[in-house]
Structure 1
Amino acid sequence: MIDQSRLCLLALHFIPGIGDYLLRQLVSYCGSAERVFNIPKGKLLKVPGVGEVTANAILAHNTFDLAEKEIKKAEKLSTQLIFYLDKEYPTRLKQIPDAPTLLYCKGSIDFENPKSVAIVGTRKATAYGRECVEQLISELIPHQALIISGLAYGIDIQAHKQAVKQGLQTIAVMGSGIDVIYPASHKDTANQMQHNGGLVTENRFGAKPDAHNFPMRNRIIAGLCDALVVVEAAERGGALITAEIANSYNKDVFAFPGNVGETHSEGCNALIKNNKAYLITSAKDLEYLMNWEVAKKPIKKKEAFSLEGFEPEEQTILKLLLEKSPSTIDELSWKSNTAVSQLASLLLTLEFNGVVQSLPGKQYKLKY
């Protein structure tokens, strides 16, 4: 029997004109997806972003058959539908403002891997670019990092193949339906990945790899990673779009430098030149800036540490650092439900008082 609440969420998802932001607004305003379809039209029209056309489309209930077929197809194709309200929804994506409300997932994916690296670049990779990817992934083996890319030609597929070869978990974020492998020549790799990783998309079954899907796909790649590494990129292209998005999400962006004057190096060199990416020559650069060497050693909690004398907001942050130290400012913001700007002020005060120490990679730890 199909879960009614999930059916309603999917039915909302299929209504034309309802995007991720408006869907969240509707569910939040009405209390649940089911109530969205039963609320009077007058109240629907009071939801910001809902007009006559959208309200009529909701109340027509025309997308339920489509939603039911989609759920049955997911079961048939062993695909998991993860809604933004599900506990399985990736923690990292919850922290970005334009996160998708629905993910189609296939394989054995651990979204909560402690270390996540996205590797992107040109579709016309050179031998130098492929060597950079191979070296980087081999050096990430001790960290057992999750490798994320887009299954495209060039750098993307090289990253996936090397991750499979080295036994690292790898995820492909697709710009098509999960049943439409693009390019088709990468189908074998996509199948291999599902044993230790898998495929992810926000597009419905059968969706073609249309051009407008790929910039949207890139925000998911940026949202799922802790660090984004650009390996060879032209002056314009998807890799640079992903880097821009990652920067807007306060992710750490890295780029391998290339020869001056080479077309496939222009994008990476520009990122470094404009301080939009750290220069990287090996995983050691990434380890240092992400503080991964420090994170290898578990930090023991000291019984002597007391929260007395701290303000309630400060106590909330310190309790989170007692549970996990170091933690990124984005993690602390999400877990404490505190705006990043307010949290930065609190952390600065605690740092001045000698209680908290800031680390590379936008991370913080208790100093005691």
Structure 2
Amino acid sequence: MQEQELLALLALKKAPLVGDIMAKKLLREFGSAQDVFAQNVKDIAAIDGLGDKKASFIKHKETLFDKAKKELEFIHANQIKCKVYNQDDYPERLKYCIDSPIVFFEKGAIDYSNPYFLSIVGTRQITTTGAAFLEKFMNEIAPLNPVIVSGYAYGVDILAHKMAVELGLQTIAVMAHGLNQTYPRNHSAHNEDLMKNGGFITDFWHTDTFDRKNFLGRNRIIAGMSEATVVIESASKGGSLVTADLANGYNREVFAVPGRVNDKYSIGCNELIKQAKAHMLTKTADIPYILGWKERDIAVQKQLFVELNEIEKRVFQFLKKRDKELLDIIALEMELPVHQLASVLMSMELKGVVQPLPGKLFTLA
């Protein structure tokens, strides 16, 4: 992208009362950010939804461009990449979110070509039970090589990032401030590891410091980048529930880990499930099954989610070739007594590997 167009986009990004949705409407109407700033107040105000008040930013374009020049200097000085919503290298899923940023900033080595993006969010006060589930989940999902997206906060976020690094997975931290700072500050100890295994993104300028009001903007990117959002633990209120709502609004899948009804940090997850806003996540295999990853030629990884004994492995390979088969036929062709096979299939069903169908048919889950 040409430098002058990027400069104009940055200026438009800072235009008061405009926002990303309206900015895209202006860009569609006039063709480019430079052309937007070539208009007068009357032309801008005539666009549906703007009016004189919102269009008044055009009167202050010199100030906006001065600010944009300083931001562009910071971008060049710190080797920050800019991702623009109508360019080919913009994340595909985020591109289709109505309020996605017209431009965001990136540090690190992020590969957006990986089709499996998974956001993991939850409470900052993660319990030992939640941490144990997350660690098991991360180890079991790792063979699918997903990109793990989170918000670099205390609790669930930072544990998900650290586990991703340990497992060699790409991980992206979405920040609620500029890329010249780290919040929480003590998480800066992990910055180098993340830069090697993914990186940091934000649509806030380096002059934007940490502020709680920035969380909504940060969370829309977390929800929008990924095919699904996983909520590990949450109280009755919290940012992870906001992220889940945003994901639902983008028509993305949401998964929540259930817990005991009296546990403070299970209330939010239980409510998501009860209100049909999230799938119940009780085992790792729920993710590829519900997302349809099996149909995308990764079903061969299914056996990595659980430990199978030798007979179970044989049954798994048999069903992988047959898609579905009758109990009696499986027993006959595998030379197993029906009662023994029924016990094996029950064990595999409890492990989430096989699924019974009407008429004594069985298939892989």
- The alignment's TM-score, normalised by the length of structure 2, stands at 0.78
- 1:297 positional shift: 5.4
Distance in 2 between residues matched to 1:246 and 1:41, nearest whole Å: 36
| Structure-2 residue corresponding to 1:330 | none
- 1:2 positional shift: 6.9
| Structure-1 residue corresponding to 2:326 | none
Per-residue CA deviations over 1:152-184 (Å, capped at 9, x if unaligned) read 000000000000010000001111112121100
Q: Which runs of 4+ in 1 moved over 4 A?
A: none
The 1:226–1:12 alpha-carbon spacing in structure 2 relative to 1, beyond 3 Å, is same
Secondary structure in structure 1 of the residue aligned to 2:234: coil
- 1:112 positional shift: 2.9
Distance in 1 between residues matched to 2:40 and 2:6, nearest whole Å: 21
- 1:227 positional shift: 1.4
Distance in 2 between residues matched to 1:158 and 1:297, nearest whole Å: 26
- The question of whether the paired residues in 2 share the 8 Å contact of 1:255 and 1:280 is answered with yes
| Structure-2 residue corresponding to 1:157 | 158
The 1:76–1:232 alpha-carbon spacing in structure 2 relative to 1, beyond 3 Å, is same
Distance in 1 between residues matched to 2:183 and 2:115, nearest whole Å: 29
| Structure-2 residue corresponding to 1:233 | 234
| Structure-2 residue corresponding to 1:110 | 111
| Structure-2 residue corresponding to 1:4 | 4
Distance in 2 between residues matched to 1:88 and 1:40, nearest whole Å: 32
- 1:106 positional shift: 0.7
The 1:137–1:40 alpha-carbon spacing in structure 2 relative to 1, beyond 3 Å, is same
| Structure-1 residue corresponding to 2:125 | 124
The 1:39–1:153 alpha-carbon spacing in structure 2 relative to 1, beyond 3 Å, is same
Distance in 2 between residues matched to 1:24 and 1:125, nearest whole Å: 38
The answer for unaligned runs of 5 or more in structure 2 is 300-365
The 1:53–1:260 alpha-carbon spacing in structure 2 relative to 1, beyond 3 Å, is closer
| Structure-1 residue corresponding to 2:272 | 271
- 1:213 positional shift: 0.6
Deviates more, 1:213-222 or 1:47-56: 47-56
One-letter amino acid of the counterpart of residue 126, structure 2? A
Distance in 1 between residues matched to 2:96 and 2:143, nearest whole Å: 27
Distance in 2 between residues matched to 1:179 and 1:16, nearest whole Å: 23
Distance in 1 between residues matched to 2:276 and 2:54, nearest whole Å: 43
The 1:274–1:54 alpha-carbon spacing in structure 2 relative to 1, beyond 3 Å, is closer
Q: How many residues were matched structurally? A: 298
Deviates more, 1:33-42 or 1:4-13: 33-42
Matches within 5 A, 1:162-241: 162-241=163-242
Matches within 5 A, 1:78-93: 78-93=79-94
Distance in 1 between residues matched to 2:26 and 2:250, nearest whole Å: 25
Distance in 1 between residues matched to 2:93 and 2:121, nearest whole Å: 18
- 1:53 positional shift: 4.3
| Structure-1 residue corresponding to 2:26 | 26
- 1:185 positional shift: 0.9
| Structure-2 residue corresponding to 1:42 | 42
Per-residue CA deviations over 1:31-71 (Å, capped at 9, x if unaligned) read 21111122243322211233334444314422112111111
- The question of whether the paired residues in 2 share the 8 Å contact of 1:26 and 1:47 is answered with yes
- 1:214 positional shift: 0.4
Distance in 1 between residues matched to 2:162 and 2:214, nearest whole Å: 23
The 1:274–1:53 alpha-carbon spacing in structure 2 relative to 1, beyond 3 Å, is closer
The sequence identity of aligned pairs, in percent, is 41
- The question of whether the paired residues in 2 share the 8 Å contact of 1:175 and 1:209 is answered with yes
Deviates more, 1:45-54 or 1:140-149: 45-54
- The question of whether the paired residues in 2 share the 8 Å contact of 1:176 and 1:209 is answered with yes
Matches within 5 A, 1:307-346: none
| Structure-1 residue corresponding to 2:245 | 244
- The structure carrying a bigger helix percent of its residues is 2
One-letter amino acid of the counterpart of residue 97, structure 1? I
Deviates more, 1:74-83 or 1:36-45: 36-45
One-letter amino acid of the counterpart of residue 211, structure 1? R
One-letter amino acid of the counterpart of residue 223, structure 1? G
Secondary structure in structure 2 of the residue aligned to 1:49: coil
The 1:249–1:57 alpha-carbon spacing in structure 2 relative to 1, beyond 3 Å, is closer
The answer for unaligned runs of 5 or more in structure 1 is 299-368
- The question of whether the paired residues in 1 share the 8 Å contact of 2:144 and 2:298 is answered with no
- The alignment's TM-score, normalised by the length of structure 1, stands at 0.77
The 1:271–1:55 alpha-carbon spacing in structure 2 relative to 1, beyond 3 Å, is closer
One-letter amino acid of the counterpart of residue 168, structure 1? L
Per-residue CA deviations over 1:53-108 (Å, capped at 9, x if unaligned) read 44443144221121111111011112112121222111101111111111111101
- The question of whether the paired residues in 2 share the 8 Å contact of 1:37 and 1:59 is answered with no
Secondary structure in structure 2 of the residue aligned to 1:212: helix
